[in-house]
Amino acid sequence: MLSFLIWLLLLFLCWPIAILALILYPVFWLILLPFRLLGIGVDAVFSLLHAIVMLPARVLGHRPGH
């Protein structure tokens, strides 16, 4: 909602830049999409490594948060 209000302010102040931003936003989103997917994959690998390292403690009865 805040980004929409900022865009409306930009549209009021300088409409050519606002229209250009409206056109280029999907392009930047598509360019950044592989980096987001890579981040999800790296997070999954670290979660798996954490689960593997903590497995012996969980088998012995350690409960996280207690």
Mean pLDDT, contiguous 10-residue spans, the chain (66 residues): 90 89 92 96 97 89 74
Report the predicted TM-score, pTM, of the whole model to 2 decimal places: 0.59
Q: Are 10 and 21 a contacting pair, CB within 8 Å? A: yes
Q: How far apart are CA 33 and CA 36, in angstroms?
A: 5
Contacts of 10 (CB under 8 A, 6+ apart): 17, 18, 21
Sign for the CA dihedral angle at 44, 50, 55, 58 comes to negative
**Domain boundary assignment for the chain:** 2-59
